[in-house]
Amino acid sequence: MTDSKRVTVAAVSVASGGVLALLAALPAGATPQMLSQAKAAGMPAQNCQYCHTVAMPKKEGFKPDELNERGKWLLSEKDKQNAKDIKGEWLKNYPGGK
């Protein structure tokens, strides 16, 4: 392997690790899968701010005040349904619209 290929492989490895670290920083209640579920349910979710007030929720120190009305509603649905996890498809029933 040439030096330039090694540098490229190393850069990709570091970048991939950074993405994984970023995903690991998401709170247990908010995951990339939830965003995918919301999109699959036909919701116009483009990023975390569909349910959060902050661009990137942090796992440490998650605060319910970082949720917008939609996110607060999802949290209350989780409690009502005694569910372990929030499901993105619940957004179909959100009374505040898309």
The residue length of the chain stands at 98
Helix (H, G, I), strand (E, B) or coil at 67: strand
Output the pLDDT for position 98.
73
Does some domain include residue 46?
yes
Range of the domain at 55: 3-93
Output the pLDDT for position 15.
46
Give the global pTM. Answer: 0.65
CB within 8 A of 98, min separation 6: which ones?
A: 43, 44
Helix (H, G, I), strand (E, B) or coil at 73: helix
Number of domains in the chain: 1
Q: pLDDT 10s per residue in the chain (98 long)? A: 555 555 444 444 444 444 444 333 334 456 788 889 999 999 999 998 999 998 887 767 667 888 999 999 999 999 999 999 999 999 999 998 77
**Residue for token pair 């709170």:** 27
Does some domain include residue 98?
no
Does some domain include residue 10?
yes
Output the pLDDT for position 56.
80
Q: How far apart are CA 10 and CA 22, in angstroms?
A: 18
